[in-house]
Amino acid sequence: MNIASIPRSDEKLTIELTVKEAMALGSGVNFWGDPLLAAQARKKVRASLEQLLIPGNHRLYYEAIDL
């Protein structure tokens, strides 16, 4: 079995979530008034992970490439 190593896996990551967002992620509670709540919370987690694992990730603007 080949296990990939995760860089910086022992570092702490702090993410600010509302109580509703934490409940939606942690226990799968559905909030009918805000159906996108869990998706927004997952987006916050992914963005924080990207900032930690890929520091200074910049988007590539194809218009700036001189071909």
Range of the domain at 48: 19-53
Within-domain flag for 9: no
pTM of the model: 0.69
60 belongs to a structural domain = no
Residue 1 clears pLDDT 60, i.e. is over it: no
Q: What is the pLDDT at residue 30? A: 85
pLDDT at 13 over 80: yes
Q: Is residue 61 part of a domain?
A: no
Give the number of domains in the chain.
1
Any domain includes 47: yes
Give the distance from CA 57 to its chain's centroid. Answer: 14
Is residue 1 situated within a structural domain? no
Residue of 15 and 10 predicted with greater confidence: 15
> What DSSP designation does 9 have?
T
